[in-house]
Amino acid sequence: MTYVNTTSQPKERRFTSPLKIAEDQMLIGLTLLGQVSYLMWRTFGYMIRLQIDWGESVRQGYMIGVKSLVVVGITALFTGLAMSLQISRELVSFGADTSIGGVVSLALVREIGPITAGVIVAGRVGSSIAAELTTMMITEQIDALKVMRVDPIRFLVVPRYTAALIVIPTLSTYAMFLGLLAGIFIAKSAANVPPDTFLDSVRQTILDRDFSVHYLKSIINATVIIFFSCAIGLNTRGGAEDVGIATTRAIVWTMISIFILNFVVTSLTYAPR
Amino acid sequence: MNSEPVLQVKNIHKAFGDRKILQGVSFDVYAGEMLGLIGPSGCGKSTILKIICGLLEPDSGEVIRRSDEIGLVFQGSALLNSLSVRNNLALALDSRNLSRVEEDKIIREKLALVELADFMYASPTKLSGGQQKRTSFARAIVNDPKIILYDEPTTGLDPVMSTVIEDYMIVLSKQLSAASIVVTHQHSTWTRTTNRVVLMFEGKIVWQGTPEEGIKSSDPFIKQFASGSREGPMLATKI
C-alpha cells in the first residue's frame, strides 16, 4: 500500500556540519555565561546593600531545603551504603579494616556530600526555578513587575540565592552525616568493625581543611544552581514548549557546571605538588 | 478635555530583526479620553503599549508622558500566583514606602471599586477568570495613574463578563480622569468603551475617528474591520 502525504511537503534535508553545531553551541554557552555574570553582578549588589526580602528568603529556604530533605537523605544513605560496602570489601582483603572509617569519611566530606546534595538540588530545584521563571516570562508576570517598578532580580533572584547559600551547605552536611551513618552500619555488619574504631579512624583522617573544601563546594553548587536556572528562566520567551526546553537546559547546564567546578576545586586543593 | 495631551506618541518605528512591526505611528491621548487601538492580530498594537510603558525601546521616535504613573492591565491578568491578592496590589505600592495600615486602606478601597474586597487575602489561583481580570484592574489603578493601558481586556471572556469588564473600564476611566488606551479587536469593546479609535494595519495607522464614524464609514479598512468581512484591503492571507 502506498501512502501519500497530502497535508505537507517533505522537509528539505540539510546537512549541518559538526563545526557549525559546535560554533552554535559555543555561542549559546557564551551568551548564557554573559547572562549569568550580569545576574550575579546585580544580585551581589543588592546583597551587599542588604536589600533582601527576608520573608521571601525563608519561604524559598523551605522550598529549596526542607522539600529536598527526603530525596537528598535517601540518595545520600544509599550512596553511602554502596560506597562503604565497596571500600570495606577492599580494605578487609588488605587487612586494613580499621581504616574503613577514614576512607569512607574522606570520600563523603570531600566529594560525595557536596556532589550528592548539589546534583539532587540541581535536578529538583534548578529545574523548578527555570520552569517557574519561564512561565512567569510567558504569562507576562515579569513584565508586570517591571511596570510596577519592581526589579525582577531583586524580587525573584536575591531571595532564592540568599536561601540557597544557607540551605545547600546544610543539605551537604546532612548528606555527609547520613553517608557516615551508612558507613558505620556497613563497617559493623560487613567487616565487624565497631563504631568506636570507625569514628577513631574518622577523627585521625579528616582535617579542618576538608570541611572548608566541603563548604566551598556547597557554596559554588548553590551559586551555579540558582544563577544558571534563573538566567535561563528570565531569558526564555515563547510558549509551553519553551518551558520544557528551559527546564532541560537548566538541568544540563547546572549538572555539567557542578561536575566541572567540583573537579577544579579538587585539583586546586588536593592535587599532589 | 484638556488642551494638552497626557500622552504623545511621535513617529514610532520598531523592527524585530527584518520584520518591521511599527512604521511611523503617531497619536495623542488626552485626560479623560479612552482611545481604542484596534487592528488585526500582529499589526503592532501590543508593541505600542510595551513601548509606552517602557518595556520596549523604540528604534526611533519618542513617547512623551506627562505622568510617570502608568497602570497596565495585561491580557492574561499577569497576577503573581505566589502572592495573595493583597500582596499583588501591595507590590505596586512598594516604591511609596507606606505603612501596612496605609497600604491596606488603599488596597481595600481599590478592591471595593471592582467588588473584590472580600477576596483580599485569597490566592489568585482560587479566583475565576473574571475575578482575576478585575484584580489586575485594581492593581493597575492602585497608584491612581493618569495613564491606563488595557491590553486585550476582554479577550477570552464570555459576552456577559466582557460587558462587566467594559463597564468597569468606563467607570474607572471617569473616576480617575485618566488617559486610557484600549488595545482590542473585540467589536463590542471598542464600540462601547472608547471615545476615539485608531485602526492599525501592518504597523501603520490606516484610519482614525470616533466609533460611530467607524461603523458608518465607507473607508475600506475600517469598513472591513468593523464588518469582519473577508473582502477588503486587509487580505485574510496577510492577517
Predicted complex ipTM: 0.87
The string of pLDDT tens digits covering residues A228-239 is 999 999 998 888
Residue with the three cell numbers 510596577:
A148
Residues of chain B contacting A60 with CB distance shorter than 8 Å: none
Distance CA(A72)–CA(A123), nearest Å, equals 11
Distance CA(B80)–CA(B123), nearest Å, equals 9
State how far residue B73 is from chain A, nearest Cα, in angstroms. 9
When the pLDDT of each residue in chain A is averaged and rounded to a whole number, the result is 89
Q: Which residue of A has its CA nearest to B140?
A: A148
Residue with the three cell numbers 526564555:
A236
State how far residue A149 is from chain B, nearest Cα, in angstroms. 7
Is residue A273 pLDDT above 80, yes or no?
no
Find the helix or strand (DSSP H, E) in which B206 lies.
strand B204-209
Residues of chain B contacting A156 with CB distance shorter than 8 Å: none
Distance CA(A111)–CA(A88), nearest Å, equals 18
Given an 8 Å threshold on Cβ–Cβ distance, is A147 in contact with B70?
yes
Given an 8 Å threshold on Cβ–Cβ distance, is B78 in contact with A140?
yes
Residues in contact with A17: Cβ distance below 8 Å, sequence separation at least 6, in sequence order: none
Find the helix or strand (DSSP H, E) in which B82 lies.
none
* Average pLDDT estimate for A260-270: 92
Q: Which residue of A has its CA nearest to B76?
A: A139
Nearest to B226 by CA among B237, B238, B211, B204: B211
Find the helix or strand (DSSP H, E) in which A137 lies.
helix A127-138
User: Residue A6 — very low, low, confident or very high, per pLDDT cuts 50/70/90?
Assistant: very low
Residues of chain B contacting A149 with CB distance shorter than 8 Å: 94-95
Residues in contact with B191: Cβ distance below 8 Å, sequence separation at least 6, in sequence order: B211, B214, B215
User: Residue A2 — very low, low, confident or very high, per pLDDT cuts 50/70/90?
Assistant: very low
Residue A3: per-residue pLDDT: 41
Distance CA(A17)–CA(A33), nearest Å, equals 24
The string of pLDDT tens digits covering residues B10-65 is 999 999 988 899 999 999 999 989 999 999 888 888 899 999 999 999 999 999 99
Given an 8 Å threshold on Cβ–Cβ distance, is A145 in contact with B50?
no
User: Residue A270 — very low, low, confident or very high, per pLDDT cuts 50/70/90?
Assistant: confident
* Average pLDDT estimate for A20-43: 93
Sign of the C-alpha dihedral, residues A55, A60, A62, A63? positive
The string of pLDDT tens digits covering residues B72-113 is 999 888 999 989 999 999 999 988 889 999 999 999 999 998
In this structure, which CATH number among 3.40.50.1860, 3.40.50.300, 3.40.50.1220, 3.30.70.100 belongs to the domain B1-69+145-239? 3.40.50.300
The total number of residues shown for chain A amounts to 273
Residue B24: per-residue pLDDT: 92
User: Residue A14 — very low, low, confident or very high, per pLDDT cuts 50/70/90?
Assistant: low
State how far residue A157 is from chain B, nearest Cα, in angstroms. 14
CB-based contact A69:A148 (threshold 8 Å): no
Find the helix or strand (DSSP H, E) in which B7 lies.
strand B7-16
**Domains in chain A: boundaries:** 54-265
Amino acid identity of residue A77, one-letter, is: L
**Domains in chain B: boundaries:** 1-69+145-239, 76-144
Considering CB atoms only, which of A136, A139, A148 is closest to B91?
Answer: A148
Residue A212: per-residue pLDDT: 92
Residues of chain A contacting B55 with CB distance shorter than 8 Å: 143, 146-147
CB-based contact B12:B22 (threshold 8 Å): yes
Distance CA(B131)–CA(B114), nearest Å, equals 9
State how far residue A144 is from chain B, nearest Cα, in angstroms. 6
Is residue A4 pLDDT above 50, yes or no?
no
The string of pLDDT tens digits covering residues A90-143 is 888 888 888 889 999 999 898 888 898 899 999 999 999 999 999 999 999 999
Q: Which residue of A has its CA nearest to B149?
A: A147
Given an 8 Å threshold on Cβ–Cβ distance, is A144 in contact with B74?
yes
CB-based contact A230:A156 (threshold 8 Å): yes
Instruction: Report the range of poorest mean pLDDT among A5-9, A53-57, B126-130, B218-222.
Output: A5-9
Stated pTM of the model: 0.85
Residue B106: per-residue pLDDT: 95
Given an 8 Å threshold on Cβ–Cβ distance, is A143 in contact with B76?
no
Q: Which residue of A has its CA nearest to B89?
A: A148
